[in-house]
Amino acid sequence: MNAVEIEEAVSNLAAAPFDAAVFPYAFLEAFGNKETTLRRLRSGDSNQSDLPSGVLQRNNIHLRVCAQGEVPVTLAILRQSSATTRQKAKFILATDGQSFEAENLADGETVVCAYADFHDHFGFFLPLAGITTVKQIRENAFDIKAPSRLNRLYIELLKDNPEWATAARREDLNHFMTRLIFCFFAEDTAIFHGDRLFTGTIEQMTARAIPLTPTWCSPRCSAR
C-alpha cells in the first residue's frame, strides 16, 4: 500500500463505529498487513504481547484497547512491558474508543488526540508500512490527504457522468477539477471574503456523498 491508500484506509477506520475487539487488527490492516498475518495474530501464534487484550507485532507495534478513561495508564503499561522491549516494538498505542495515545519509542514523539481524529496523524505511523518519512511530511498529513480526496471526488464524478471519461469530454473534466482546486485554495487562503462561502454553498446545494473541506489545502497555504 502507498501513503494515499493508507490514508484512505485509516480515515475509513476512524469514521467507522468503534469495535474494541476488532480495532487492533483493523488498524494493522490499514497499514498493509495481510490477512494471513492478521489471522496468526488473532489466533495468538504470532502475538508476542504479555498483557491481557494486548496485541504485539514483533519489530513493529504493541497496542491495547482499554477501559474508558484508562488510556494514559495503559500507554505507560505498554511502555514498561518487558515484551515491548524484548520484541523490539517501534510504537506503542492505547485507545478506549474516545481517546487515542501513541508513542514512537525510537525518538519519543507522541500523538494524543480524540479517537475520531487519529486519522489526521496517520503519517506518524507510516513506518509500520515500511514507509520512511521525515518529520515535515508526518506533520503535514493534508499533503497526502489532498490527492486521496481528489481521487475519490474524480471517481464519484465519473460514476454520475460517465461521458466525461471519453476523449471528447476529458478536457472539460480536467478544467472542472482545476477550478474546484482553485476554489478550495481561494477559500482556505481568504481570497474569498467570508467564512466557508464555497464549501457552504456546496453543502447547501448538494447531497454530500464524500467530505468536501477547505482543509484539502496544505496548512502552509494559509501562511502565504
pLDDT in tens, 43-102: 999 999 999 999 999 999 999 999 999 999 999 999 999 999 999 999 999 999 999 999
Determine the structural domain holding residue 114 and report its residue range: 3-139
Looking at the fold, whether 109 and 217 belong to one and the same domain comes out as: no
| 105 and 168, same domain (yes or no) | no
Domain identity same for 45 and 98: yes
Question: What does the pLDDT look like over 182-197, one tens digit per residue?
Answer: 887 788 778 887 788 8
Same domain, yes or no, for 12 and 77?
yes
Say if CB 115 and CB 100 are below 8 A apart. Answer: yes
Residue 29 and residue 90 in one domain: yes
Backbone angles phi, psi at 94, to 5 degrees: -135, 140
What's the number of domains the chain is made of?
2
Domain co-membership, 52 together with 133: yes
Q: Which residue has 482553485 as its cell numbers?
A: 182
Domain end, chosen from 120, 139, 158, is at 139
Taking the CA atoms of 152, 153, 159 and 163 in sequence, report the sign of the dihedral they define: negative
